Structures are given as structure tokens and as C-alpha cells.
Structure 1
Amino acid sequence: MQTASTNIGERMGRSQELSDSKRGPVIGGQLGNKSIRDISWLLNIPRSTVSGIITKWKQLGTTATQPPSGRPRHMTGGGQRMLKRTVRRSHQLSAESIAKDLQTWCGLQMSPTTVRRELHGMGFHG
């Protein structure tokens, strides 16, 4: 029999996600009328994680990881590299012309305000 204290190395860290192979038994335990404490003890998973999985399953009907809501906060790496390359080639371009160039060359749709904000964040000023 395993106890929580002997499997400290197997415990999840905060940044790790529980695999699908472990989420299934949590739902199986719930359907088998096991308590959250029993499921937690049997699978060696924190009670808060078990509770979260069960809540998500009841609300959404799935235990799959959902994409984050809202728009992305920053450009992707490829877009930043392209923007930096464009500005380094010619320093005199306006934000409007850079936005049009990025749309033409790599299909990135970006407003001039976004171009200014991203350039400012990269250390280009003026």
C-alpha cells in the first residue's frame, strides 16, 4: 500500500498538468460514488486537484485542458523578429507603413498603435 509521504517525488508540482490517464480514474471514482478524499488518497493526487477535475467535468462535460480565454497579450516570437528586422533595415519608416509591410510580407495584421507599442517594448523609441 502506498502512502502520500512515500511518494513525495511523484507528487505534482504547481506548474505541471495532470495527464489524461490520471483524470479518467478521478471521474471513474466520482461515478463509483467515492468521496473526494478517497479518490485523492487512492490516486495520490491533492484533494483540490480532484475537486477541480470533478467540477470541470460537471460544468463542461470534459476534463480536457481548455485554451485560455481572451486575446493574447503579446506578439509571437516570429512576428517580433520580423518587426525588429524591418525597423533595423530602415529607421525612417512610419508605424503605418511598417504595419502595411508586415501585412504584405508575412500576413500579420497589426494596427499602427500595436506596432508602436511592440517597438517601444523592444527598446526602440522615438
Structure 2
Amino acid sequence: MFELIGSVFILAGAVFLFSAGLGLLRMPDAYTRIQAGTKASTLGTMLVLIGLAFYHPNWTFRLVLLIYFVLVTNPVSSHALSRAAWLIRTPMTASTITDALADEDGRTVREAES
């Protein structure tokens, strides 16, 4: 029974990891690619690690530490990447309505794009 539950978690994680890769290919600009890749890969990695915990119960503590590490580092690294992309003026897609960082910085959206 534990192997079946573990397999379901691993399969669900693989689906989310696949969708993260698909998001990287399909999204229009760097900012949405970062967001799509980070959210889906974080959840996918966590599900795979939970599935591994069902397969190997004696590894559970180490896998929980890995899950915590993924939960902390993925969002922080994606924020740092998107902030760096904004600072070097990576263009946004034309459908972007607002740029909160430009408002905070005192620039207009059009100045931030150029």
C-alpha cells in the first residue's frame, strides 16, 4: 500500500515538473517564465520527495529537510532572478498592465520597458 501511495505522489510530482518545463516554453516573457517554472517545480519537487518518503521511510527526516530547503530557496531565488531581470530592464510582454516596481521606483511603465 505504501508503494502505491508513493507512486501516486511521484507521478503527481512528475506531472507538475512537466508542466513547469512546458511553462518555460510557452510563456511570453522572462518574468512569467520564472513564475511558471518556480511554482510548478517547487510543488513537483516536494511531491516527488514525499513519494520517496513513502518508499524509504527511514529517509523521511532527510527528505523533510530537503522539502524545507526547496520551500525556502526556490521562491527566494526566483525573486532574486526577476528583480535582477527588472534592474537590467528586461522587456515585459505587451499585455503587462502594471509594473509595481516602476511605480515604487518613480518610473513609468513605458520608461521601465525601454
Whether TM-score is above 0.5 comes out as: no
Q: Mark the structure with the bigger radius of gyration.
A: 1
Q: Which has the higher contact order (CA 8 A, sep 6+)?
A: 2
Bigger helix share: 2
TM-score (norm. length: structure 2): 0.30
TM-score (norm. length: structure 1): 0.28
